[in-house]
Structure 1
Amino acid sequence: MKRLAAVLSVVLSAGAHAGDVNPYIINGNPTSDAELNNTYPTFTSLYFHDGTRFGNYCGGTIIDSQHVLTAAHCVYEDYTAMLHTWVVPGMADQAKYNDGSYQSARVEKVYYPNDYIENLDPNLGDVLPNDIAILKLETALNVRDYSSLLNSTFDNTYALNRGSNTFKAVGRGYTNHVADNGGNTVSRTTTNVVMQTSLTFDSANDCNSTNKQLCFDGVLSDGYKNSTCNGDSGGPVYWWDGSAYQQIGITSYGPGTCGDPNREYTSVFTEVYDYSGWINRVTSGVENATFEVRNAPGTRTLVRVSDGQFLRSSSALLDETSMPKISVSSSSGSSSSGGGSLGLISIFALGFLTLRRRFS
């Protein structure tokens, strides 16, 4: 996976403290298979798997059996990732992948807006504008059409009187991350369980974002606010509309210290409503893909559609129609994600803006 250390070099505020702990879904609670299936049925995980290395690096949500919604920065210009990304829906506890009882599908096409810009410096313009992508799968998942759970009715204003669990972020990743003065990993703890946390919607949108983004804060608990963090990119923030959880946002970025109690906001999301027309055009086949994987005897090749340029080729896992079985450690937590993993790490510097994706 690519590194974006250069764009993380812009300090947004002074007084960052090296060695701070940076949890992933901050102050979160674990989900169960039943809860994912019944309450958050659209949640899915993006995995890199090339036959020798594997690892979860982003989240996403199912639109229908062949389309998955995520963040553009999860795949932007990462040719290796696009060539070897698999979508794995459901499965609250990742350790259950050990028995091979999971669905999966390979990514065939990648779509994101032409005006997406991977910028984390507010002095250079909007931060991560149009951070949205759709992945079309090579084979269909055995799921129903969930497009009705993507908000296409409400814009910027969401009812706040639905109770304490009105807004929920869901994701999988680190439970904490400790860095030294140089931003290098000192220690980290992982969990294999999908987590959830309640967030507070900022209706004034005071996080210096574009008008196509949503700002969220979180309740302070144990020294940190409820928040998303690295590894949650591309995943959802849901809004309880009184009968079901609709997805209103896609996890994009936030302060470098996840759950920083000194920040006015903890998480920024791409607002789904503003892209409902684009989403419909992609899923109906009207939009051209940005990249696609083409199969030929003995190889799979990632091609940029606009000019037909071949970008990356591989002969790995050519005959696999589902992601090969992986070995994952128990859900109680460990210092890695299991044998053969990518060794995924977060590279955010405290006090800087950071993507909510994991990096290697």
Structure 2
Amino acid sequence: MKNKAVLLSTLIGMSCHLAASEDYQAYIVNGTDASITTFPSYVALFVDLIDYNNTYYEGNYCGGTILNSTHILTAAHCVYSADPDNNLYSLFTTVVPDLQYESYFPYNITEKKRVAKIYYRDDYNNSTLNNDIAILQLESPLTTINTSHYANRPSTGTTYRSSSETFYAVGHGNTKTGVDEKDYLQKASLKYVDNSSCNYSNMTDTKLCMEGVVSPSNGLEASTCQGDSGGPLYWYSGSNYIQVGLTSFGPSTFCGDASFNSTSVFTEVYDYQAWIDTVLAGTETAKYIATDAKRQAYVDSIGKEPSSSGDSGGGALGFMSLLFMSLFALVRRSIQ
């Protein structure tokens, strides 16, 4: 998620990308280029209103991974809202697979699918980000992928909580705090930190703590700091990339500065295997269902947003446009 979208969520309180005492954001910082063919399960989440008012938000706001052709794993705080009928993320999230360059969205991509149903656990805590995990069900199956795109989840008995193991966080991210200069998919090399040594007070056994590896070439520390929440943490087993976590939160300042001990926190996937399987089996009830009627009602309430580019393809929503749309909905909701 862009920092602009973080500010938006904080201002309007409609989608909690920021919670509790720490600054719960996550973006790849001081990473290196990553090929989407190496990490094919990765997807980007965008706010996309093209079919409704010819606009879209120009940067992805969260990441996720492919569980199967119709289900995406991400962080609950990416899509949670106390008022989802008036929330852009709940209503207008589009999932894009195989996205090597962030700027390829929306007109140079293989496909995109809109989210229809949102699942998160009953015990999700939007303040502590405990149980920060969600599954998005798509309106229709992804058609350009195959089973090789599905995330590899850890099997029973797998052990990886060791500082000697190799981990990678993947996403579209910053080169340093607050600066998004990388269009190409990025990966950050991380190492395991015991929860007792993590920088945060709200650690539980279902969270993984990681710190960045310092590059010998520039002295900068790889990190997840601002924006790509919900994206994967992979453990390299020596032969496969296994998704052991999803990005939950990290520090808001000094990202990548090796003189500061910045740790980031990931929801541990293994602890939620049973819940994931019940969602995939269709036995869980969705927390929210986004329909065309609900989306149209939202757009009608804010008015048609003009194209910013002048071309026939519509325009990217700038920060002020997105802020206006969301504040308008907030005001409308408060006076009802």
Q: Indicate whether the TM-score tops 0.5.
A: yes
- Secondary structure at the aligned position of 1:277 is classed as helix
Alignment pair present for 1:43 and 2:42: yes
CA shift, 1:71, in A, is 0.4
In the superposition, relative to structure 1, how do residues 343 and 219 fare at CA in structure 2: closer, same or farther (>3 Å)? Answer: same
CA shift, 1:89, in A, is 0.6
Write the distance in 2 (CA, Å) between the matches of 1:247 and 1:220: 22
Write the distance in 1 (CA, Å) between the matches of 2:26 and 2:125: 27
* Equivalent pair of 1:24/1:175 in contact (CA under 8 Å): no
* Equivalent pair of 1:23/1:174 in contact (CA under 8 Å): no
Alignment pair present for 1:199 and 2:190: yes
TM value normalised by structure 1: 0.69
Deviations 1:14-50 (A, max 9, x none): xxxxxxxx9942221112xxx312x211000000011
- Secondary structure at the aligned position of 2:121 is classed as coil
Write the distance in 2 (CA, Å) between the matches of 1:252 and 1:11: 12
Write the distance in 1 (CA, Å) between the matches of 2:222 and 2:232: 15
Unaligned runs of 5+ in 1: 13-21, 120-126, 179-187, 303-311, 317-325, 328-337, 345-360
CA shift, 1:98, in A, is 6.6
1:246 aligns to what?
242
CA shift, 1:159, in A, is 5.8
CA shift, 1:230, in A, is 1.5
- Secondary structure at the aligned position of 1:62 is classed as strand
In the superposition, relative to structure 1, how do residues 274 and 147 fare at CA in structure 2: closer, same or farther (>3 Å)? Answer: farther
Deviations 1:298-319 (A, max 9, x none): x3459xxxxxxxxx64469xxx
- Secondary structure at the aligned position of 1:197 is classed as strand
Unaligned runs of 5+ in 2: 302-307, 321-336
Alignment pair present for 1:4 and 2:1: no
Which protein has the bigger strand share?
1
In the superposition, relative to structure 1, how do residues 288 and 193 fare at CA in structure 2: closer, same or farther (>3 Å)? Answer: same
In the superposition, relative to structure 1, how do residues 154 and 204 fare at CA in structure 2: closer, same or farther (>3 Å)? Answer: farther
Deviations 1:267-305 (A, max 9, x none): 10000000000000001101000000234xxx3459xxx
- Secondary structure at the aligned position of 1:73 is classed as helix
In the superposition, relative to structure 1, how do residues 196 and 211 fare at CA in structure 2: closer, same or farther (>3 Å)? Answer: same
Deviations 1:160-205 (A, max 9, x none): 656xxx2111011333345xxxxxxxxx443221101210112455
* Equivalent pair of 1:205/1:214 in contact (CA under 8 Å): no
The AA in structure 2 aligned to 1:54 is: Y
In the superposition, relative to structure 1, how do residues 264 and 81 fare at CA in structure 2: closer, same or farther (>3 Å)? Answer: same
* Equivalent pair of 1:60/1:235 in contact (CA under 8 Å): yes
1:182 aligns to what?
none
Write the distance in 1 (CA, Å) between the matches of 2:79 and 2:163: 33
1:1-360 alignment, distance < 5 Å: 2-4=8-10, 10=21, 24-31=27-34, 35-37=35-37, 39-51=38-50, 52-55=55-58, 56-77=60-81, 79-97=87-105, 99-119=107-127, 127-142=128-143, 143-145=145-147, 149-154=152-157, 157-158=160-161, 166-178=166-178, 188-203=179-194, 206-207=197-198, 208=201, 209-221=203-215, 222=218, 224-257=220-253, 258-295=255-292, 299-301=293-295, 313-314=298-299, 340-343=316-319
CA shift, 1:225, in A, is 1.9
Deviations 1:97-129 (A, max 9, x none): 47534211000000001111122xxxxxxx310
* Equivalent pair of 2:26/2:229 in contact (CA under 8 Å): no
The AA in structure 2 aligned to 1:343 is: F
Which protein has the bigger helix share?
2
Q: Report % sequence identity.
A: 39
RMSD, aligned α-carbons:
3.2
Write the distance in 2 (CA, Å) between the matches of 1:203 and 1:62: 28
The AA in structure 2 aligned to 1:273 is: Y
CA shift, 1:140, in A, is 0.5
Write the distance in 2 (CA, Å) between the matches of 1:278 and 1:147: 17
Write the distance in 2 (CA, Å) between the matches of 1:148 and 1:192: 23
